[in-house]
Amino acid sequence: MIKNYIELRINREFGDIITDYFDFFKQNIKKFTNTFISYNGIFFIGIVITSYVLVSGILGLIASNENSSFLGAVSNDDDTYWMIFFIGMGLYFIIFVILGVLNYGLATSFMILYDKDPTNAFTKKDIWLYFKGNIGKSVLFVLLLVAIYFGFLIISVLFALIPILGMFAQYILQFFLASWLGVSFFEMLQNNKGVVESLGEGWNLVTKSFWKSVGVNLVMGLLITILLGLASFVPGVIFGVYTFHVVENEVSLTSNVVATVIYTLSLSLFLGIMIYGQSLSQLVNGFLYYTLHEKTYNTNTRKRIEQIGEHLDA
């Protein structure tokens, strides 16, 4: 067992989950980030290419609308730029489904192997091999997740019609969904269950500790957002300064290569940071999963009692 190994299967209180997560984060951030970069690298190239297509479409539409307003006529280029824009959006959806599967799986597999190996000797290859055996179920789970969140967006629109209370209800539902789906995915990979069975068990675990689950995702979601916001500061400043330059100097967007490059890289970096944040959020749900599972089934507690009994008998 490594020094300062953090036991996962403990029935933690709310504050202990937050504290131990940050201890875990500091201890494993280098190893986890290395794994994240290793397996996401090729997809980041895809994000850059897709961002270029999307940015080209958006800048083209902006320039076309400006020309139409100036000339008082509708530009024939609009259809082309709209087509480029929708191609970019379609590519984004495909890439994000792939990355959702990959990073949900890598983060979950990382914590499962950490739980199984107190020496922390497992490698990024071990993480990939563990996840590889569950890719099929993971794809189905993420596709179902997309459908669930689509339904959530519809409900959010209805909540928006209710002043104040609707906003609170929306946030509670949002963080409940994050807890339920994250915990369910852990259940699926940890115990090799089917998608529907895992969602049922995840629902059982989370609803029994509803406010703890919502609270953990609320607090950690806020802290991770702040952390990633700081990481996004530099690309955000570059984006803002250059946009100010474009507006003040009436720079042509479609004929300016620098504009396309800056907006493409800024968007790509921002999306890359968001994806990394999603992985960190799933690690949070790992702490929540093991806490709720131990609270419900006392697996680790019973194991230790049996070990004490064996020592006494010896």
Return phi, psi of residue 163, to 5°.
-60, 140
| Rounded-to-10 torsion of CA 304, 308, 311, 313 | -120
CA proximity to 184, closest of 292, 50, 307, 27:
292
Which pTM was predicted?
Answer: 0.87
Residue 6 lies in a domain: no
Structure tokens at 77: 């280029």
Averaged pLDDT, 178-195: 95
Q: Given this model, what pLDDT does residue 70 score?
A: 46
Say what percent of the chain tops pLDDT 90. Answer: 44
Domain assignment present for residue 7? The answer is: no
Taking alpha carbons only, the member of 114, 36, 281, 293 closest to residue 188 is 293
Give the pLDDT band of residue 267 (cuts 50, 70, 90).
Answer: confident
In this prediction, residue 93 carries a pLDDT of 87
Q: How many domains does the chain have?
A: 1
Asked if 152 and 174 touch (Cβ cutoff 8 Å), the reply is yes
Asked whether 101 and 93 are in contact (CB, 8 A), the reply is no
Residue 238 lies in a domain: yes
**Continuous H helices in the chain:** 14-71, 78-116, 124-132, 135-159, 165-190, 195-208, 210-231, 233-249, 257-297, 299-313
Task: Name the one residue in this structure whose structure tokens are 């800024």.
Answer: 266
Label residue 80 by pLDDT band (50, 70, 90): confident
Lowest-confidence segment of 113-122, 139-148, 258-267 by average pLDDT: 258-267
pLDDT at 71: 47
In a domain, 5, yes or no: no
At 46, list the tokens: 């895809």
Question: 118-175: per-residue pLDDT in tens?
Answer: 888 899 999 999 999 899 999 999 999 989 999 999 998 898 888 889 889 999 999 9
Q: How far apart are the first and last CA of the chain?
A: 24
CA–CA separation, 58 and 81 (whole Å) = 7
pLDDT at 69 over 60: no
Over residues 62-84, mean pLDDT = 63
Contact criterion met (CB below 8 Å) for 57 and 81: yes
CA dist 124 and 204 (Å) reads 32
Say which DSSP state 258 is in. Answer: H
* Mean per-residue pLDDT over the chain, rounded: 85
Q: Residue 2's Cα: distance from chain center in Å?
A: 28
Structure confidence by residue, pLDDT tens digits, 277-312:
889 999 999 999 999 999 999 877 777 776 676 655
Residue 232 domain-assigned (yes or no):
yes
Q: Does residue 243 form part of some domain?
A: yes
Residue 33 lies in a domain: yes
Residue 43 CB neighbour total at 10 angstroms: 18
The arithmetic mean of pLDDT across residues 256-260, rounded, is 77
Position 156 in a domain: yes
- Read off the pLDDT of each residue in 99-123 and give the average, rounded to a whole number: 92
Query: Is pLDDT at 72 greater than 80 in this prediction?
Result: no
pLDDT at position 113: 95
What is the tens place of the pLDDT at every residue in 218-242?
Answer: 998 888 888 888 877 877 888 788 7
Cα distances (angstroms) measured from residue 264 to each of 180, 191, 248: 34, 41, 21
The predicted pLDDT at position 86 comes to 86
Domain span holding position 115: 14-313
